[in-house]
């Protein structure tokens, strides 16, 4: 696993617990299976857009890392896993380019996950501090986020604004790559905690701002998953269990 030393072995689990079979499913694949079964109360929609029935539905989810997956048929029968979180991060303006330049000196390759994750918020905070010539405090992702939400730290506010901007752009990229005219979803554990903030941070604008394809993205619904357990709903769906419950 990219962000953990854990090794998960299906054969070993089967033997250890006496199961007949074990099937390992990527966490974002499980979330993707859940998408057709989410209720209106499970999501919050940002901006306009109308889903096209039967078209692909994609999801990005910042958490420990950045997951990306796509429901190919929009019905829950075919899900494509990906490693899209490790795609190269792009800048949309000069400030973002400066942030990426700092991160390149530290990491070499700068993936989307380097900023769109819990550790990513810390990376953004540290990079902006370096640009400004300010000593970064040893803050956790939760502390940076809280200081931004409270408005008590300008550096934290810019870091969270940058997170929202990069996330909106990454969601727009995923929608373009998958042709997600059935809808674009954002999951994970971080975004539901800042869901009011991202609306103020022009999240939808960053999603749509793609030059000649901005009009294409304007037609796609963009939703944040608020339900705390979408992966379990998706697992039940994938296993032919409870379906819509």
According to the model, what pLDDT value does residue 241 have? 44
Distance CA 209, CA 224 (A): 18
CB atoms within 10 A of CB 47: 16
Domain range spanning residue 122?
1-245
φ, ψ of residue 160 in degrees (nearest 5): -70, -35
CATH number for the domain spanning 227: value is 3.40.367.20
Distance CA 122, CA 138 (A): 9
Dig out the tokens for 49 from the structure.
Answer: 């857009």
According to the model, what pLDDT value does residue 171 have? 98
Per-residue pLDDT tens digits for 130-156 = 999 999 999 999 999 999 999 999 999
Parallel, antiparallel or unpaired: strands 43-46 and 222-225: antiparallel
Q: How many domains does the chain have?
A: 1
Distance CA 44, CA 143 (A): 25
Low-confidence ranges of the chain (pLDDT < 50): 241-245
- Total-model pTM: 0.91
DSSP 170-229: HHHHHHHHHT-TTEEEE-SSSGGGGHHHHHHTTHHHHHH--GGGHHHHHTS-EEEE--S-
């Amino acid at each position: 696993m990219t962000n953990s030393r854990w090794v998960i072995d299906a054969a070993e689990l089967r033997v250890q617990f006496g199961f007949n079979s074990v099937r390992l499913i990527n966490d974002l694949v499980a979330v993707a299976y859940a998408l057709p079964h989410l209720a209106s109360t499970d999501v919050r929609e940002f901006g306009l857009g109308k889903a096209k029935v039967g078209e692909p539905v994609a999801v990005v989810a910042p958490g420990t890392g950045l997951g990306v997956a796509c429901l190919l048929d929009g019905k829950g029968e075919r899900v494509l896993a990906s490693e899209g979180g490790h795609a190269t991060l792009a800048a949309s303006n000069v400030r973002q380019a400066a942030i990426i330049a700092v991160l390149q000196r530290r990491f070499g390759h700068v993936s989307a996950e380097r900023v769109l994750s819990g550790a990513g918020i810390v990376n953004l905070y540290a990079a902006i501090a370096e640009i400004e010539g300010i000593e970064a405090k040893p803050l956790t992702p939760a502390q940076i986020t809280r200081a931004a939400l409270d408005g008590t730290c300008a550096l934290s506010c810019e870091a969270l604004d940058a997170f929202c901007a990069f996330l909106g752009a990454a969601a727009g990229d995923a929608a373009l790559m998958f042709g997600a005219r059935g809808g674009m979803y954002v999951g994970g554990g971080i975004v539901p905690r800042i869901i009011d903030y991202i609306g103020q941070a022009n999240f939808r604008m960053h999603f749509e701002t793609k030059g000649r394809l901005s009009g294409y993205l304007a037609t796609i619904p963009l939703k944040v998953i608020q339900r705390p357990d979408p992966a379990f709903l998706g697992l039940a769906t994938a296993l032919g269990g409870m379906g819509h419950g």
